[in-house]
Amino acid sequence: MMIRSLLVIVLAFIATTGFAQKKKKKDEPRAMEEVPAAPTTTPAQTPQPVAKDTLPKISPLTQHFARKYATAVQWNDYEVAKDALYDLIIENPQNDSLIFDLALFYYQNQKSASAVLVSNELLARNPKNLGALEIAAGGYEALGVLDKALQSYESLYLLTNNIGTMYKMAFLQYRLKRYKESATSADIILASKEVETLKASYTGADNKPKEYPIKVAVINLKGMIALDQGDKVGAKKLFEEVLAIAPDFTLAKENLAKTKPTAK
């Protein structure tokens, strides 16, 4: 699977003066708040040319590894690109962007343990690195280390207030049998404005992936919490509410069947 391509940046780096610290995008659907321009109180100054002696020097090795990386990406050889990325990191150990790309490579290729380890290196440098937090959370979840995954998602939510992150938290809390926390998270999601527009993918009645309103999955989650706690009456109402919105939501149908009295 393709790493988040640095090809353009690498070529620009070779042609100019060095690696720019890229803003992390990581295919994440997180909208950054627009920062208003600061009011101008003094006339703008004429920019002064930068003296050549003050520009960062690029080592020949860094240029070589950058070309190797760009060529490997161009020729679709991502193992070689990964090796070049390691070489670039060794030559530029303070460049967090390179380390992030390595973490992303591992995560995209389902090498979750390595993704977590590399992400933790970034988080040791900056605990508020959003991209590293998200990769660490997903990596821990893939490894089944649910408590660590939840901690990472919680840190991410505190920094972003992202409802998609809260959605992940709610289900992890349920899996960890932290029912009260899961129910609280579900209520926060249902009370949010985004709940009317966000979608979640589940298997439909035809065994094919289908997108449903996130509200459907969250109400179903609340029913599962009630069912696990022995409240079949409350669970039944919640599953029926789900099916009123999405009659083909298979999970709710299956869960509703569990609320029927068992034959003696």
Alpha-carbon distance of 122 to 143, in angstroms, equals: 19
Angle at the Cα of 237 (from 220 to 166), degrees rounded to 5?
Answer: 30
pLDDT tens string 3-53: 444 444 443 444 333 333 333 333 433 332 333 333 333 334 444 454 445
Q: Higher-confidence residue: 20 or 246?
A: 246
Percent of the chain at pLDDT above 90?
A: 69
Which amino acid belongs to residue 81?
A: A
Mean pLDDT for the stretch of residues 157-167? 96
Which pLDDT score, from 0 to 100, does residue 50 have? 42
Question: Is 36 strand, coil or helix?
Answer: coil
Q: Mean pLDDT of all residues in the chain?
A: 82
Which pLDDT score, from 0 to 100, does residue 205 have? 76
Q: Higher-confidence residue: 69 or 31?
A: 69
CB 226 within 8 A of CB 234: yes
pLDDT tens string 75-129: 999 899 999 999 999 999 999 999 999 999 999 999 999 999 999 999 999 999 9
Which pLDDT score, from 0 to 100, does residue 36 have? 36
Contacts of 217 (CB under 8 A, 6+ apart): 167, 200, 202
Which amino acid belongs to residue 200?
A: A
Alpha-carbon distance of 97 to 61, in angstroms, equals: 18
- The single-letter DSSP state of residue 17 is S
Which pLDDT score, from 0 to 100, does residue 208 have? 85
Question: Is 199 strand, coil or helix?
Answer: strand
Show the tokens assigned to 76. Answer: 């679709």
Which pLDDT score, from 0 to 100, does residue 261 have? 77
pLDDT tier for residue 255 given thresholds of 50, 70 and 90? very high
pLDDT tier for residue 264 given thresholds of 50, 70 and 90? low
